[in-house]
Structure 1
Amino acid sequence: MIPASKLKRKRRPDSALGLLSTPSFPAIVGTADAMLKAAEVTLVGYEKIGSGLCTVIVRGNIADVRLAVEEGSRLAEKLGQTVSKLVIARPMPNLEAVFPIGSHLVEIAQQQRGYSRLSNQSIGLLETRGFPAMVGAADAMLKSANVQLSAYETIGAGLCTAMVRGSVANVAVAIEAGMFEAERIGELNSVMVIPRVMDDLEAMLPVASCWIEKPLPLLFSNKVKEKEKELVPLENLEQLSRSIEQEPET
């Protein structure tokens, strides 16, 4: 029997967790981007809990996580979108096993998502309260600038977010046009423009299936059997010449 003193849990130096909650999807994407750019942390993902509330989750060493959460909280407060924040040093294994906060979830998400043709482009997010306003805003954005509608997200409480991709200038123009249309139709809740999306955040953002590049199934074999050449019988040339000579002259 192993003594209890030797049964020590292994603590990884990057096991600290940071959580930040906002009542808006564009705000949670913006704060996640700020957190990733402020410190050496890994984005585990975001959790939608209904009523328009979202929580972004990062992990790393304690110092980096604290710095990231403070930076994200600062941006959220500037946007008027802060709900709560939390830093957990050395979370227990049981906590990581039950809640969606494990670092392995990042690898799983990246494998399932695949590569998008819209990757590495600027992103604009426009959130409305009500689906018609979001659809109308998305239509206005597509007609006003050279952008592509990448996906949309719903987080409850009637909040819907349209996401467009393109150059920074085009995204900015599109968002401005979408704001006017959203206010004309219904209620505009929040907007966000991110010029350069971090890789961790890129892997977590929803993307419509039409933009995911997947290998097409191989329908035919590469080696196509050629049809065997058939020999065409030729008439006997000697008989043919005799028949021509025997034809009466006219």
Structure 2
Amino acid sequence: MMKKLTAIGLIEFTAIHAGIGAADGMLKTASVEPFMMKTLCPGKFIAGVHGEIGAVQSSVATGLGLYPSTVADSFTIPNVHPDVVTALSGCTRITKQGALGVIETFSVASAILAADEAVKAADIDLLEIRTALGLGGKGYVLLSGDIGAVEAAVGSGMRKVEERGLLVGTTILPRPDKTLLQQLT
């Protein structure tokens, strides 16, 4: 079982060699632990760390400085919501029936940011954060709950990603077909 993460930081690179090199530097710079380090489609690499906020900020700053021309996106979240970590692992359950919300982004980092913002904004279930495997480098977030909560959550997550210029789009289904939900989750 993964321990509770407080601060997380992640850099999305457009080149695998750069991501691996930066990940090494990130881990050596500060007292952080790896959170998510892997290749993604199409030929990207994400380097994520967790730890105390100061250490995470220092680690991410180092990673950003090592291969700046290959950075696609990045973030530091000082107090990540625990449901974000669960949704990234794909181990969620639908407990709040009702509407389905979708937030689609041009980067994995922005999808994670949108999910954290959404789950902090309203009482929803964060179902999944899909990260760029077979998605052409994009990411998306699935969430569910009553229609008002889903609208608030999607709106909040959408605004966070729009600020970065990385929003593809959003959809809210007030009453999704149950077989669709089974296929998506």
Q: TM-score range by the shorter chain?
A: 0.3 to 0.5
TM-score by length of 2: 0.46
Given the two structures, how large is their TM-score scaled by the length of structure 1? 0.35
The structure having more radius of gyration, on CA atoms, is 1
The structure in which a higher percent of residues are strand is 2
